[in-house]
Amino acid sequence: MHFPSDLAATRRDLLIGTAAAVATTSSSSRLAAQAPADIGPVIAPVSFEVNGAQREFSLDARTTLLDALREHLHLNGTKKGCDHGQCGACTVLVDGRRINSCLTLAVMHQGQRVTTIEGLGTPDNLHPMQAAFVKHDGFQCGYCTPGQICSAVGVLDEIKAGVPSHVSADLTATPEGSEAEIRERMSGNICRCGAYSNIVDAITDVSGRKA
């Protein structure tokens, strides 16, 4: 069971990564303000798999994974709600784990496997989680919805893999897919329309537990 410790390491990396990104931004703007505004962007090659297809990019190194998906691949399902990792609308699955795609640069994902909402199902062939969201009306405006669904798919996998959460009473026992566990784990995905009660019903339905 390496998952929990991997997760912890990822969180630390993320904090370090964020701090570094902030530092770079401010120093580069100082640099640019001093003179050479004519230095062009750093263009970097990167390739990764998106929804089963290998994609090659040549990207401005500042491009987030979110903008690579939205602005370069025109996969619009992954939403930009805050661009700051505060709302969860941009949640995608990378190598099977959910992340905020706005908080990570595209060039950091060389060789990885990205699954977006478009990779889960289509209007004519819905993924069970997508179908459950429709059935339980787990959305209104629909803007946070792809992120909620990707997150929900990730949550059920995490519970299955035995990853504990803040509300798990016993960190070593297999967590249950209780409503409290779902609410806690889904709390990084904001829905301002307030469909939470229905979203929990949808996820519970897919998890096989009685609502």
Partner 1 sequence: MKFDTPATTNPIDQLKVIGQPLDRIDGPRKVTGTARYAYEQHDVAPNQAYGHVVGSAIAKGKIVSMDLAAARRAPGVLTIVTAQSAGKLGKGKYNTARLLGGPDIEHYHQAVALVVAETFEQARAAAQLVKVRYAEARGAFDLAAVKDRAPDAKPEGESPTQTAVGDFAGAFATAPVKLDQSYSTPDQAHAMMEPHASIAAWDGDKLTLWTSNQMIAWSVGDMAKTLGIPKENVRLVSPFIGGGFGGKLFIRADALLAALGARAAGRPVKVALTRPMMFNNTTHRPATIQRIRIGATPDGKITAIGHESWSGDLKGGGPELATQQTRLLYAGANRMTSLKLAVLDLPEGNAMRAPGEAPGLMALEIAMDEMAEKLGLDPVEFRIRNDTQVDPEKPQRPFSQRRLVECLRIGAERFGWEKRSATPASVRDGKWLVGLGVASAFRNNLVMKSGARATLGRNGIVTVQSDMTDIGTGTYTIIAQTAAEMMGLAIDKVKVELGDSSFPVSAGSGGQWGANSATSGVYAACVKLRDAVVQKLGFNSGDAVFEGGAVKSGNRSVPLAVAAREGDIVGEDTIEFGNLDETHQQSTFGGHFVEVGVEAATGEVRLRRMLAVCAAGRILNPKSARSQVIGAMTMGAGAALMEDLVIDKRRGFFVNHDLAGYEVPVHADIPHQDVVFLDETDPMSSPMKAKGVGELGICGVGAAVANAIYNATGVRVRHYPITLDKLLDRLPSVS
**3-state DSSP: the chain helix, strand, coil percent, rounded to 5?**
45, 15, 40
If binding is defined by CB under 8 A, does position 145 make contact with partner 1?
yes
Tell me which stretch binds partner 1 (CB under 8 A): 9-17, 156-164, 168-176, 179-187.
179-187
Reported as half-sphere exposure (CB side, CA atoms, 13 A), residue 139 has a value of: 19
123 binds partner 1 (CB under 8 A): yes
Sequence-separated (6 or more) residues with CB below 8 Å from residue 150: 91, 92, 93, 98, 115, 116, 117, 120
Quick check: 52 binds partner 1 (CB under 8 A)? no
* Nearest distance from C-beta of residue 142 to partner 1, angstroms: 3
**Per rule CB under 8 A, is residue 55 in the interface with partner 1?**
no
For residue 41, the 8-state DSSP code is P
Q: How far is the CB of 20 from partner 1 (least distance, A)?
A: 17
The closest alpha carbon to 182, from 192, 118, 193, 206, belongs to 206
Decide: is 193 part of the binding site for partner 1 (CB under 8 A): yes
Q: Report 59-118 residues binding partner 1 (CB under 8 A).
A: 60, 62-63, 67, 70-71, 74-84, 86-87, 89, 116-118
Q: Toward partner 1, which CB reaches closer, 74 or 210? A: 74
> How many C-beta atoms surround the C-beta of residue 65 within 10 A?
28
Applying CB under 8 A, does 137 fall inside the site for partner 1? Answer: yes
Give the integer Cα–Cα distance in Å for 133 and 101: 22
Could you say whether residue 144 binds partner 1 (CB under 8 A)? yes
Please identify which residue in 19, 21, 197, 209 interacts with partner 1, judged by CB under 8 A.
197
**Cα–Cα distance between 167 and 187 in angstroms, integer?**
12
Site string for partner 1, 11-50 (x = CB under 8 A): -----------------xx--xx---xxxxx---------
Distance between the two ends of the chain, CA-based, in angstroms? 29
CB of 62 to partner 1, least distance (A): 4
Does the footprint of partner 1 cover residue 176 (CB under 8 A)?
no
Our CA angle for 164, 184, 3, nearest 5°, is 25
Number of chain residues interacting with partner 1 (CB under 8 A): 72
Pairwise CA distance, residues 88 & 187, whole Å: 9
Residue 209 in the binding site for partner 1 (CB under 8 A): no
